[in-house]
Amino acid sequence: MKKQDIYYKKIKKDLKNASTVEKAESSRRYFPDGINCIGATASDIKTIIGNFQSQHAELTAIETLCLTEYILEHAEFSEEKMVAFGLIHKYCKNNYDDDLLLRFEFWLENYADNWALVDDLCIKTIYQFLMARPHLIEKTQHWAYSQVSWCRRASNVVWVKFIKRKIGKSVYYLDKELVFKNCNLLLADEDKFVQKSVGWLLKVTASQYEDEVIEYIQNNVENMERSTIRYAIEKMDVSTRKSLLSI
C-alpha cells in the first residue's frame, strides 16, 4: 500500500471520528443546492491538520503537495478537500515555485464543487502563496474566462484581500480598473455564486474607492442583479444605500 493511501485513510478516519449527524445537518443549511459532507467543522479540520503534521513532521513541502493532490483525486467528502487544501497552507510562502498557481487553477476547475471550497482555497492557501509573490496577483484575472463557474467565482474572491494589503515594508494596491474590468466580464454570469462574488469584490473595493464603486453601480445598475448591488453597498452609509437602491 502506498504511503499516500495510508495517510489518506488516517485522515478519513479522523474526519469520521470527528463528525456527527448534527454537524452534517448544520453544514447543509448553508448549501441549498446540496453538498456531500461527512459532518466535520472548520475547527475539527484545523485540529486534524495540526495533529497530522505533528505526527508526520518528516514530510517535506513537496511530499505534502503530492499528498494534497492524492487526496483531491480520491476525496469523497467536501471536508477531505478542505484538509487537502489546508495541508500545504504553512508551506505556501517559502516553498514551491510560481507554477503552483497553475495547479490552483486546475484544482478550482476540477475539484472545487461548492462555494466554501473556493473561498477556503482563495482566502487561506492562495492568499499566503500570493503574499510572497505579489507579481502573480494580477495573473489570476483570466480565471474569469473559465468554463467552470467555481473558477470564475475565484477570479473575484482571490482579490478581496488585496485591494489594499501591507506586504513586507510596502503597501500593495490592486489596480481598481482591473476590479471593474473583472466585474464587467461577470455581470451577466448566470451562476448566482459568481454574482455574489462580484458583490463581494465591489464591497471590499468600496472600502478604498467608495466614490468609484458608487459611480460604477450607477452606470451599470440596469445590468446588475439586485442581490449583487445589496452585497456591494452593504458597508456604505444608510443614505447612500437607499439612494443606490432607488435607482
The full DSSP string for the chain is --HHHHHHHHHHHHHHHH--HHHHHHHHTT-TT--------HHHHHHHHHHHHHHTTT--HHHHHHHHHHHHHH--SHHHHHHHHHHTGGGTTTSS-TTHHHHHHHHHHHT--SHHHHHHIIIIIIHHHHHT-GGGGGGGGGGGG-SSHHHHHHHHHTTTT-SEEEETTEEEE--HHHHHHHHHHHTT-S-HHHHHHHHHHHHHHHHHHHHHHHHHHHHHGGGS-HHHHHHHTTTS-HHHHHHHHT-
Q: What is the CATH number of the domain that holds 158?
A: 1.25.10.90
> What are 91-143's pLDDT values in tens digits?
999 999 999 999 999 999 999 999 999 999 999 999 999 999 999 999 999 99
% of the chain with per-residue pLDDT over 70: 100
- Sign of the four-CA dihedral 95, 105, 32, 160: positive
Judge whether 160 and 172 are in contact, CB under 8 Å: no
Q: Which domain holds residue 56?
A: 1-91
Q: Do 37 and 130 have their domain in common?
A: no
Q: Do 72 and 193 have their domain in common?
A: no
| CA angle (87, 141, 63) in 5-degree steps | 20
Choose the final residue of a domain: 27, 57, 91: 91
Choose the final residue of a domain: 91, 122, 151: 91
Q: Do 40 and 111 have their domain in common?
A: no
> What are 84-94's pLDDT values in tens digits?
999 999 999 99
For residue 247, pLDDT over 90 is answered with no
When pLDDT is averaged across residues 193-217 and rounded to a whole number, the result is 96
For residue 2, pLDDT over 90 is answered with no
Q: Do 11 and 31 have their domain in common?
A: yes
pLDDT value at position 32?
A: 86
Q: What is the pTM of this model?
A: 0.94
Choose the final residue of a domain: 37, 62, 91: 91
> What are 168-195's pLDDT values in tens digits?
999 999 999 999 999 999 999 999 999 9
Q: Do 129 and 227 have their domain in common?
A: yes
